[in-house]
A and B are shown apart, each in its own frame.
Chain A
Amino acid sequence: MKISELDSAIRTSLFEYLLRLGDDRVVLGQRMGDWCGHGPTLEEDIALTNITLDTVGHAATLLHLAGEVEGRGRDEDALAYLRDAIDFRNCLMVELPRGDFGFTVVRQFLFSAYSHVLFQALSTSSCEELAAIAQKIEKEVRYHVRYSSDWVVRLGDGTVESKDRVNDALTLLWGYTGELFESDSVEGKLVGLGIAVDSSTLRPPWMELVNQVFTLATLAVPATTPSMLTGARHGRHSEHLGHMLSEMQILPRSHPGAIW
């Protein structure tokens, strides 16, 4: 089915769902952009910024579609630059500051593996426009999974120092993984129509991919499961997001309509 064929209640849920998908990527893209000019070597700097470029591209495509679904004339720029933190629907994991290189690659791997299973499932969405975008994103995310898993293995099975840093990152990040696989009523309305995928069903294939890479990296999933942090899909964010948005949004807010 096409978006134009959906009734207004479904469109409201789909708008919210697309904001979650788009906001995850605009926020992570902004965080990753911090590496531009600061990568440990030129090749890694270029790799990280290429991944950033893809991620921001995915965000723009998804938010553009969200704007069309909403039907109030907001485009991807209006949605990214002119909303406040409380209106963002990204998960908590992506808004954490970039950390060191170990933290960056562990987060990128956990998130890219999640994106992979998510967009693989959405490739067969009953919503034509979403399925088309999902097929495109899924292909590009494969490169991100490969890049980040290569580094997780190299650092995890590396020196004492690199292993310690990766383990520290993992201990911190693990508590943010639960939120990725939470289902709720917004999603539920769409799952029934085959538009969205039930997030809880993504956890087993994600876990399988994570375990394969961790085995090679001689890493273990944290033994004591910390309490999972959540709430951001409903606008309850960490303090980090507001600070990040103030930097990201200052130009279009200070100079409305600026072009260059």
Chain B
Amino acid sequence: MSKLTIARAWELLDEVKDPEVPVISVVDLGIVRDLRYVGDCLEVVVTPTYSGCPALKVIESSIAEHLLANGVAKVEIKNIFAPPWTTDWITETGRAALKAYGIAPPGAAAIEQLVPFPRRPEPIIPCPFCNSASTQRRSQFGSTACKALYFCDGCNQPFEYFKAI
């Protein structure tokens, strides 16, 4: 059996979705840092989004299963921590998919102020449903480690924001 090309392997990875946000692929999320053959083994270098992300193990096994099911003979997942993942690595396709799913995509990952007074004005996060700029943060933490909870005064409903890190 001939080896699958690296370009094809990237295409396959683009079909593997984040289990908690099932509209964005692991490639668009920016967590696949490298893909290479070491002998016959396809090595997938992955970096975690958040250290405590419970989806990480599921993501790793979905990547391996999908590649094995599509003609890759041997797969190894390698974890790296540096450089640390940033939401700036989420692609434009990924951002559009998040918005369409009802999650406001992250702004640029600026350095967070530690002592928050006097606060810099909070960036305006437009509502992913009605695009209103009249929104408020309700909590820095949401249903998963990567999201914050917002409320839109335009359409009177809560939404989640993929927080910038």
Min distance, Cβ A115 to any Cβ of chain B, angstroms: 12
Among A55, A131, A136, A146, contact of B112 (Cβ-Cβ < 8 Å): A146
Q: Which of B53, B81, B82, B142 has the most CB of A within 10 A?
A: B81
Is A145 part of the contact surface with B, judged by Cβ < 8 Å?
A: yes
- The reply to whether A43 and B149 contact each other, CB–CB distance below 8 Å, is yes
- Using Cβ atoms and an 8 Å threshold, which residues of chain A touch B82? 128, 131-132, 135-136
Per DSSP, chain B at the interface is loop
Is B143 part of the contact surface with A, judged by Cβ < 8 Å?
A: yes
- The reply to whether B112 and A142 contact each other, CB–CB distance below 8 Å, is yes
Chain A 46-84, CB-CB to B under 8 Å as 1, else 0, gives: 110011011111101100000000000000000000000
Min distance, Cβ B34 to any Cβ of chain A, angstroms: 15
- The reply to whether B112 and A57 contact each other, CB–CB distance below 8 Å, is no
The chain B residue sitting closest to A145, CB to CB, is B114
- Using Cβ atoms and an 8 Å threshold, which residues of chain B touch A56? 52
Closest 9 pairs between A and B when the two form their complex, measured CB to CB = A57-B52, A132-B82, A57-B51, A132-B81, A50-B141, A53-B52, A43-B139, A47-B141, A136-B84
- The reply to whether B115 and A213 contact each other, CB–CB distance below 8 Å, is yes
Docked CA distance A44–B161 (Å): 17
- With A145-B114, A153-B117, A209-B115 as given contacts, are A58 and B51 in contact (CB-CB < 8 Å)? yes
The chain B residue sitting closest to A129, CB to CB, is B81
Min distance, Cβ B108 to any Cβ of chain A, angstroms: 14
Is B116 part of the contact surface with A, judged by Cβ < 8 Å?
A: yes
- With A136-B82, A146-B114, A212-B115 as given contacts, are A46 and B51 in contact (CB-CB < 8 Å)? no
Among A43, A54, A116, A149, contact of B51 (Cβ-Cβ < 8 Å): A54
Is B83 part of the contact surface with A, judged by Cβ < 8 Å?
A: yes
Number of residues in A with C-beta < 8 Å to the partner?
36
Is B80 part of the contact surface with A, judged by Cβ < 8 Å?
A: yes
Among A44, A46, A54, contact of B50 (Cβ-Cβ < 8 Å): A54
Is B138 part of the contact surface with A, judged by Cβ < 8 Å?
A: yes
- The reply to whether A143 and B142 contact each other, CB–CB distance below 8 Å, is no
- Using Cβ atoms and an 8 Å threshold, which residues of chain B touch A54? 50-52, 145
Docked CA distance A53–B82 (Å): 20
Q: Would you list which residues of chain B between 67 and 89 have a CB under 8 Å from chain A?
A: 80-85
Min distance, Cβ A2 to any Cβ of chain B, angstroms: 13
Is B54 part of the contact surface with A, judged by Cβ < 8 Å?
A: yes
Docked CA distance A132–B48 (Å): 12
Among A44, A143, A149, contact of B115 (Cβ-Cβ < 8 Å): A149
Q: Name A residues whose Cβ lies closer than 8 Å to a Cβ of B.
A: 43-44, 46-47, 50-51, 53-58, 60-61, 116, 128, 131-133, 135-137, 139-140, 142-143, 145-147, 149-150, 153, 209, 212-213, 216
Min distance, Cβ B142 to any Cβ of chain A, angstroms: 7
- Using Cβ atoms and an 8 Å threshold, which residues of chain A touch B53? 57
- Using Cβ atoms and an 8 Å threshold, which residues of chain B touch A139? 84, 165
- The reply to whether A53 and B54 contact each other, CB–CB distance below 8 Å, is yes
- With A131-B82, A142-B112, A149-B115 as given contacts, are A136 and B141 in contact (CB-CB < 8 Å)? no
Min distance, Cβ B165 to any Cβ of chain A, angstroms: 6
Min distance, Cβ A85 to any Cβ of chain B, angstroms: 24
- Using Cβ atoms and an 8 Å threshold, which residues of chain A touch B48? 136
Min distance, Cβ A13 to any Cβ of chain B, angstroms: 22
- Using Cβ atoms and an 8 Å threshold, which residues of chain A touch B80? 132
Docked CA distance A58–B84 (Å): 13
- With A57-B53, A133-B81, A137-B51 as given contacts, are A51 and B117 in contact (CB-CB < 8 Å)? no
Min distance, Cβ A17 to any Cβ of chain B, angstroms: 18
Docked CA distance A53–B143 (Å): 12
